[in-house]
Amino acid sequence: MSSVAWTRDGDLRVATLGDRSGRMLPAGSRFAWMVGHVSGLDDEDTARRNVEEMLTGQVSPPVVAAPAPAANESSSRAPELVRQPDALPTWAAVPGDDGRAVRRDWTAEQYHADARNGRSDLELFADDPNTYHAIKVARTMTRTPTAAMRRGTLLHLAVLEPAEFKRRVVIAPETDDDFKGKGGKARREAWKAELARWRASQPADAIVLDEDCKELAQVEGMARAIRTLQTPAAKAARALLFGPGETEVTITWRDEDPALAQPMDCKARLDRLLVRATGTLVVDLKSTDDASEDAFTWSIEKYGYHRQAAWYGHAAQALVGSSLPRFAFVVVNSEPPHTVAVYELEPEAIAIGAQEIRETLRALSRARAENDWTAPWERAVKKINLPYRARRKGEQALAAKET
């Protein structure tokens, strides 16, 4: 491998062999590397070795097997091998963090601990600037995960990170002792001490569930449905979730829109990012009470999923440098029989979400620049009426009465 020549251009390290080249760039404590359309993130020695081996032809571009067949699928045909798709063109963190879009090798805990603004932070500010200030600025409050949020976390781990699911999800020990009768108080204290020792032996980021927790069975049922159902939608879901692509992609960037009162540091964590020569696709996994098309359109509006699509799409576009990515939801019903649907969001909905995101980001930048966290309803005394639907219903009733 001595025929590979290395040169440096600032922090960029370039390897050349004839008319072929590869590159490395510091990415935190590791190095991002790329040769052609293949890239990786490793320690410095491994990254250098990978670049040199690929340039000298000692290693072919990696291949990945197609998803393993479900239990009731035929396995007589050997899995087809497909070439690793076009890799991300930029994985490296720029020393000094100059605000360019960067892929971060972060855990979910590191992502949530980071002070930058994510999509949920914008939703929080839009709902109530005071609560945003208390949580993100003054840090006098913390966000308490809801049952739906915990279910979503469990589902993502079970489907996208099964090894992490096995490591983090633990069942708390139980006792049949009701702590009544003679010595009950002492037994209770001893049991508390035993529980404390057990908890200390578990991972710091463990998700502790009760033995009879219905939530665990529910999540395992959803994950099993995604992996085994034979409907066209379920098969498409497996291709999107388990086929070639990147999982749990964290991206940070600085938004320097001139319309902002000050630049805003932003972050996003994408469930799946698929980069192809034909374009980029962001995939998001959702659980829902009703996976039907009509019901999920209302979920998109109610929970702001169109804004999430716009935010993630902007992050991916900033990182990859492509046109605005397409966005697809893999949706699984939280109740048996756990039906699965795949919906690609229309560009119109993403455009509406992008406009709403832009308005919220501009308002947030003004609030931060002026340190003014007054909510719109606090600024003046206003008249109020019934919601539109109730008003229309009432107007129709009044009109009928008059006739």
Domain layout of the chain by residue ranges? 1-62+83-96, 99-145+220-379
Give the pLDDT of residue 98: 67
Give the pLDDT of residue 95: 40
Q: Residue 331: name the closest of 289, 295, 299, 288 by CA.
A: 288
The set of residues, in sequence order, having a beta carbon less than 8 Å from that of 31 and lying 6+ positions away, is 24, 25, 41, 42, 43, 44, 47, 48, 92
* Residue in the structure block whose two tokens are 């009703």: 290
How far, in Å, are 34, 36, 134, 248 from residue 303 at the CA level? 38, 40, 22, 21
Q: Do the Cβ atoms of 247 and 105 come closer than 8 Å?
A: no
The alpha carbon torsion through 233, 235, 237, 238 (nearest 10 deg) reads 170
Helix (H) or strand (E) holding 48: helix 44-55
Give the pLDDT of residue 58: 63
Strands (E), 143-278: 169-171, 207-209, 246-255, 264-276
Give the pLDDT of residue 374: 95
pLDDT in tens, 340-377: 999 999 999 999 999 999 999 999 999 999 999 999 99
- Residue 319, helix vs strand vs coil: helix
Token output for 5:
């020549």
Token output for 197:
């020792």
Q: Give pLDDT < 50 ranges for the chain.
A: 1, 60-96
Distance between start and end Cα atoms, the chain:
92
CA dist 186 and 208 (Å) reads 25
Question: What's CA 362's distance to the chain center, in Å?
Answer: 23
Looking only at the bridges linking them, the beta strands covering 207-209 and 169-171 are: parallel
- Helix, strand, coil tally for the chain in percent (to 5): 40, 25, 35
The set of residues, in sequence order, having a beta carbon less than 8 Å from that of 240 and lying 6+ positions away, is 272, 274, 281, 283, 328, 330, 342
Give the pLDDT of residue 144: 84
CATH entry 3.90.320.10 includes domain 99-145+220-379: yes
Give the pLDDT of residue 123: 97
pTM: 0.73
- Residue 269, helix vs strand vs coil: strand
